[in-house]
Structure 1
Amino acid sequence: MDHQSEPWVQRLRDGVVPPLWPFVAGALGLFAVAVGVLVVEARFVDQASLTGRGSLAVLLPLLGAVGCVAAPISAWRDGRRDRRALRHAHGHGRGRPAFHLPVSARGTIAGQDLPDPRIALVTVDRSGLLGWSPVSPDPVVTIPWTRVARIDLATKDHRGRREDYGLWLTLTDGGPFVLEPRSALGRPFSASQPRLDVLRDVLRALRPGSGPGSGSGSAGRRGAPR
């Protein structure tokens, strides 16, 4: 199956921020469920406390309710930030980018020297990759394709296991450059494992001179420094 033709990939090609209301509606639904659970537990608090798990039974839905309120606020904030970065990228006179990659500033590896302000968006075109901030009209990071030797998945240790968390660009003139993609424009969540695979393949396909079997192979991975 060609995952590169899926709607979420097309939105990143077009630079479209998905509407917020479906996300808010889902969060409100989960919030209502969490509040309902708290109401039911409040009626049976004595019985729950006798089991020795009363505090945990109350804490979990309470945390869920708080998360359901915080997530839409974070998404609204990220949506505003990404729209500003998109305006800078589209108004810079370089033409329409071929791809728009929302990234998290915390996704850079330790010791990676990035200038302030931190980037929220990476655009991809024929010349390379440009990192954009919502507060700067000019790109704050520029990586021409001539500097990119490989594109792999970045991995790290998590609870005794290696897991993929980002895109690892091996540069010809120095160490790696690692980005942690977000799931979509205007969303605060990190991209899932399946989406990381697709994003890696998209970037490899956009790299000039790429072709079947080019790049580092579909299973290419690089581990973060320890």
Structure 2
Amino acid sequence: MQEMQVKPNSDRFPLRPRDAASLILIDREDKDFRVLMGRRNMGHVFMPGKFVFPGGRADPADGGIAAAAELVSQDEQKLLAGMGARATRRRARALALCAIRETYEEAGLFLGKSTASGQKPSSAHPDWEAFAARSLTPDLSVLRYVARAITPPGNVRRFDTRFFIAFRDAIAAQLPEGTGPSGELEELRWLSFTDACSLDVPSITLTILKEIEAQLQDGPALPPGLPVVQYAMRYGRYVREII
């Protein structure tokens, strides 16, 4: 998953943030909520050893993948509202589908529903082929859009990351290896929010953890149309907004 981390950028002009998505999976079986976190492989140049949510850069082709059910309209509208002149339904779908795809790629978990056996995905991406091989179609209706964070200017990599949340019972299948095929995340753990906040996490991850914990305390059912918290740098300081 891509995080907000300031690094010097020698480029003359600031980079445009690239679309990315992350999925916050919540286990609600116990008295206290638990969240899925994984440690980034130490071989990574970007944030090695940091604990993060599954996530990554969006692929425009994701927007054309068939879904068992679409995003709820309130979440789709909030995604579109944040896109300005570049808003399209396909782009909004690509972000939600990216969160599901990256959760499989990094954690080996499938969020979807059973579909016709042998149905081929519209993309040759191996992650979507893995869904089709198990007769699964991704399910966007289980996602709630809850947060957005834009890497500030001056970073050698910039991402416009949308954070989605879903419950653990939305998982339809998982790889027996206990991790994803990419090997990007290790030591995947279901943790209390207190334990998750005590890990070596990027600052924006810690901020989002605290935001989500507060939302779950206010409304544990995660109904559609949740407030979306947005973080971005303006005039040299971070700004927090709610939409």
TM band (smaller chain): under 0.3
Structure 2 length-normalised TM: 0.26
**Which is richer in helix?**
1
Larger relative contact order (CA 8 Å, sep ≥ 6): 2
Which has more radius of gyration? 1
**Which is richer in strand?**
2
